[in-house]
Amino acid sequence: MNLEFNPNEVCACGKVHKTDVENCVIEEGAVNRIPEYAKKYNATKAFIVSDVNTYPIAGEKIENMLKENGIGSVHYIYQQKRLEPDEHAMGSLVMHFDAECDLIIGIGSGVINDICKVFAYQTKRPYIIVATAAYMDGYAARTSTMPVDRIKTTIPAKSPDVIIGDLDILTGAPKYMAAAGLGDMMAKYVSICEWRISNLINGEYYCERVAEFTRQSRDACVQNSEGLMKQDKDSMKKLFEGLINCGKAIDYSGVSRPGGGVEHYFCQMLDMRGLEFGTSTASHGVQCAIGTLYAIKCYQKLKNIVPNREKALKYAEKFDFDAWSNRLREFLGKGAEPMIALEYKEKKYDRDKHKQRLEIIINNWQNILKIIDEELPTVTEFERLLKSIGLPTSLEEIGIPERELPLIIKCTKDIRDKYVLPRLLWDIGELDEVCDNL
Ligand SMILES: [Zn+2]
Ligand SMILES: [Zn+2]
């Protein structure tokens, strides 16, 4: 299959596959190329953004390199050890900005990049990110997810014009960060599986080339997991490339499907509860990896089920959205309100639409099971993989009681109208039985 995406060609799926990620330098000493790119964008003065953890990694070096090339700089260093990408962080940046700066350079991973992407978008400046860890796949994304009034919100941003993946820097990051990055890549087993299932049931847009590109990027990372744990540079190159490729796959398809499915919503639930109630959280990639494991467990349970029309119809009939809304409020706090409000617009639980989906599901059950078989590893294989890179295999290990698991999974179906595992389980009337008996 041709996996070279040409922006001038219409794919068999009907779309022209384009990406905003143009310049991505993944090599040893990549950071030395910053002056070259600064000149390319005719920069005279750069606004450099880092925090107390990332400044020592490359901050001074970048300032000096720019100076040697006749380019000025102003540096803003966040003093927090654990920076939250919220209104306070965003506001500080605005207040310390020097409007003469015509280039933004961020040094960091998730949080710094999320803040700088929004800032570069708002100030209309070219933007270079120097990655300090292969931590998650959001480097290239056109949006940032940040808490606004303590509710996680997706905010318009711009993709970095240049992504610097310096292998010397990336392999110098703590190993657990690469493990988290790999965890985010592993989510792509479930994401592709659910993309295909939704394509089958709902006729949702799907492109096999983009799916295959994502699978191959993921597999290259998984195959190099051992090397990653030894902080080997070639393995790190594969991981960072994989993370960037997932961002490209989202650009190519124009949908979030290649990047994530229910396991990303699972991660979002834990983050929401953390924000609202101060419950325990882990990094994005770690939470996604655990979410992937539980999703695989649920999908494996599906194999022993034959959907029953009467049971499914009765289940939908008995479903009381108002009662369910109250459970969402209890479990998620304020974050539940936008989810509840969405249902009035999206009507995910509309009885007629449910009947239509149910018929398709019943008639295609063997095909659905085939997709699951083709896309997902077994629970045992996946657990072994997680353990081999030191990732947790249960909620307990990240400080969350296992008894919360069923409700966490059930709530993921209400984030937005995206057809994921719990939606399928709800459609066939098996949501409670599967989730409550994991
Ligand atoms: Zn296509
Ligand atoms: Zn992710």
Average pLDDT of the segment spanning 356-373? 98
Report how far ligand 1's centroid is from the alpha carbon of 296 (Å).
27
Count the Cβ atoms, other than its own, within 10 Å of residue 226. Answer: 11
Query: Which helix H or strand E contains 194, and what residues bound it?
Result: helix 175-202
Res. 56: pLDDT tops 90: yes
For CA atoms 341, 155, 423, 413, give the dihedral sign: negative
Report how far ligand 2's centroid is from the alpha carbon of 218 (Å).
12
Average pLDDT of the segment spanning 190-219? 98
Ligand nearest to the CA of 139: 2
User: Which comes out higher in pLDDT, residue 24 or 141?
Assistant: 24
Report how far ligand 1's centroid is from the alpha carbon of 209 (Å).
6
Ligand nearest to the CA of 2: 1
At residue 152 the predicted structure's pLDDT band, cuts being 50, 70 and 90, is confident
Please name each of the domains of the chain with its CATH number. 23-173 (3.40.50.1970), 177-206+257-436 (1.20.1090)
Alpha-carbon span 400 to 286, nearest angstrom: 13
Buried b (16+ CB within 10 A) or exposed e, 329-364: eebbbebbeebbeebeeeebbeeeebeebbebbeee
Ligand nearest to the CA of 206: 1
Identify the pLDDT of residue 75. 97
Q: What is the pLDDT of residues 173-194, one digit of tens each?
A: 999 999 999 999 999 999 999 9
**Which of 106-110, 155-159, 195-199 reaches the highest mean pLDDT?**
195-199
Report how far ligand 1's centroid is from the alpha carbon of 377 (Å).
25
Res. 150: pLDDT tops 80: no
Res. 21: pLDDT tops 90: no
Query: Which helix H or strand E contains 210, and what residues bound it?
Result: helix 208-223
Report how far ligand 2's centroid is from the alpha carbon of 264 (Å).
6
User: Which comes out higher in pLDDT, residue 308 or 153?
Assistant: 308
Average pLDDT of the segment spanning 195-207? 98
Report how far ligand 1's centroid is from the alpha carbon of 5 (Å).
9
Across the chain, mean pLDDT equals 95
Report how far ligand 2's centroid is from the alpha carbon of 114 (Å).
13
Percent of the chain residues topping a pLDDT of 70: 100
Alpha-carbon span 118 to 157, nearest angstrom: 4
Report how far ligand 1's centroid is from the alpha carbon of 79 (Å).
45
Average pLDDT of the segment spanning 348-372? 98
Long-range contacts of 218-223 (CB under 8 A, 24+ apart): 218/185, 218/186, 218/188, 218/189, 218/242, 218/246, 221/182, 221/185, 222/182, 222/185, 222/186, 222/385
Res. 254: pLDDT tops 80: yes
Identify the pLDDT of residue 380. 98
Place of tokens 């069923």: 406
Contacts of 159 (CB under 8 A, 6+ apart): 20, 21, 117, 140, 141, 142, 247, 251
Report how far ligand 2's centroid is from the alpha carbon of 380 (Å).
23
**pTM of the prediction?**
0.93
Average pLDDT of the segment spanning 235-243? 96
Res. 82: pLDDT tops 90: no
Q: HEC states along 301-349? A: HHCCCCCCHHHHHHHHHHCCHHHHHHHHHHHHHHHHHHHHHHHHHHCCC
SS3 call for 2: coil
User: Which comes out higher in pLDDT, residue 70 or 151?
Assistant: 70
Amino acid at the residue 41 = Y
Res. 23: pLDDT tops 80: yes
Report how far ligand 2's centroid is from the alpha carbon of 302 (Å).
25
Among the residue ranges 135-144, 338-347, 360-369, the one predicted with the least confidence is 135-144
Report how far ligand 1's centroid is from the alpha carbon of 348 (Å).
27
Report how far ligand 2's centroid is from the alpha carbon of 129 (Å).
18
Amino acid at the residue 196 = R
Ligand nearest to the CA of 256: 2
Identify the pLDDT of residue 110. 87
As a whole number of Å, the end-to-end CA separation of the chain is: 38
Q: What is the pLDDT of residues 384-397, one digit of tens each?
A: 999 999 999 999 99
Here the tokens at position 299 are 């999908």
Report how far ligand 2's centroid is from the alpha carbon of 63 (Å).
31
Question: Furthest-apart CA pair in the chain: how many Å?
Answer: 75
Among the residue ranges 26-30, 138-142, 340-344, the one predicted with the least confidence is 138-142
Ligand nearest to the CA of 249: 1
Report how far ligand 1's centroid is from the alpha carbon of 187 (Å).
21
Report how far ligand 2's centroid is from the alpha carbon of 38 (Å).
29
Report how far ligand 1's centroid is from the alpha carbon of 264 (Å).
23
Identify the pLDDT of residue 142. 86
Ligand nearest to the CA of 180: 2
Percent of the chain residues topping a pLDDT of 90: 91
Report how far ligand 2's centroid is from the alpha carbon of 250 (Å).
11
Average pLDDT of the segment spanning 130-146? 90
Ligand nearest to the CA of 286: 2
Identify the pLDDT of residue 292. 98
Identify the pLDDT of residue 22. 81
Q: For residue 287, count CB atoms less than 10 angstroms from its CB and return exposed for 0-12, middle for 13-18, buried for 19 or more.
A: buried
Q: What is the pLDDT of residues 264-311, one digit of tens each?
A: 999 999 999 998 999 999 999 999 999 999 999 999 999 999 999 999
Decide if 30 contacts 164 (C-beta within 8 A).
yes
Identify the pLDDT of residue 50. 97
